[in-house]
Structure 1
Amino acid sequence: MTDSETHFSTEARGVPTGPGRFVTVNDIDAVEFVPGLEFRPVLGDNVMTNFVTYAPHTEAPVHVHEEEQVVIVLDGELEFVIDGETRLMRPGDVAVIPSWVPHGARTLEVGCTQVDVFTPPRKTLLDHARAQRD
């Protein structure tokens, strides 16, 4: 097999764990822990993707959690801090945050849209994500 054939194999080597589904992000009720910061989580079996919208001049305080997180900026910009190091992130920029590493973010004059990927799923969003899924 070529690399392409291996990557896109149609040979099932296991049993599906459930049905697939499509989700429209704007149909998800937002969770807002601080004003101007909206979360719309989408839950899989072992992973969570969280669609995040920041209004201008909004802060996600520095915090830690056990879940590993990958942040992908889609639109706008924000200052992101990981373990004391701050970067201005713009569309296409990615941050990788291991478990228990302090991190936070804030927007300045413009808002921002980002996607967070959590594994395992972020505990503080699980109830909301389950309700949206079900």
Structure 2
Amino acid sequence: MTLNLSNIPSKEIMPGYFGKLVHSENMSIAIWEVKKDAKVPEHAHMNEQIMHVMEGDFEFTLDGETKVYHSGDIVIIAPHLKHSGKALTDCKLLDVFSPTREEYR
């Protein structure tokens, strides 16, 4: 299967988080356009996650430790660890999840 990012519709998954989502049998990717001040509340999930900050400044709390991440930064998030975030600027983020993030289908 071949896709083109420009043909994938964007979905607002939570306020200020607009994602282009791609799923395979065992993984999902989400390419996010995140509006300044948009927040993702603290949560945890069974999926392993890798987050890449492609553009902007993103405040991220992982397992109780808060840091600000910038363009080029990558964070590896183990399954079941609590995490939350806030866009300090407009941001572009890339998330990779394994296994597939079924609730994003």
TM-score with structure 2 length normalisation?
0.92
For residues 42 and 5 of structure 2, the distance between their equivalents in structure 1, rounded to whole angstroms, comes to: 26
Deviation string 1:12-38 (CA, Å, 9 cap, x unpaired) is xxxxxxxx41x2223222221322111
Q: Which has the higher contact order (CA 8 A, sep 6+)?
A: 2
Specify which structure has the higher proportion of strand. Answer: 2
Residues matched between the structures, number: 105
Does residue 76 of structure 1 match 2:56?
Answer: yes
Amino-acid identity (%)? 29
Kindly report the root-mean-square deviation, in angstroms, between the aligned alpha carbons of the 2 structures: 1.2
CA radius of gyration, larger in: 1
Flag as ranges the 4+ runs of structure 1 deviating above 4 A: none
Consecutive unaligned residues of structure 2, counting only runs of 5 or more, are none
Consecutive unaligned residues of structure 1, counting only runs of 5 or more, are 1-19, 127-134
In the other structure, the counterpart of 1:106 is 86
For residues 106 and 76 of structure 1, the distance between their equivalents in structure 2, rounded to whole angstroms, comes to: 11
In the other structure, the counterpart of 1:117 is 96
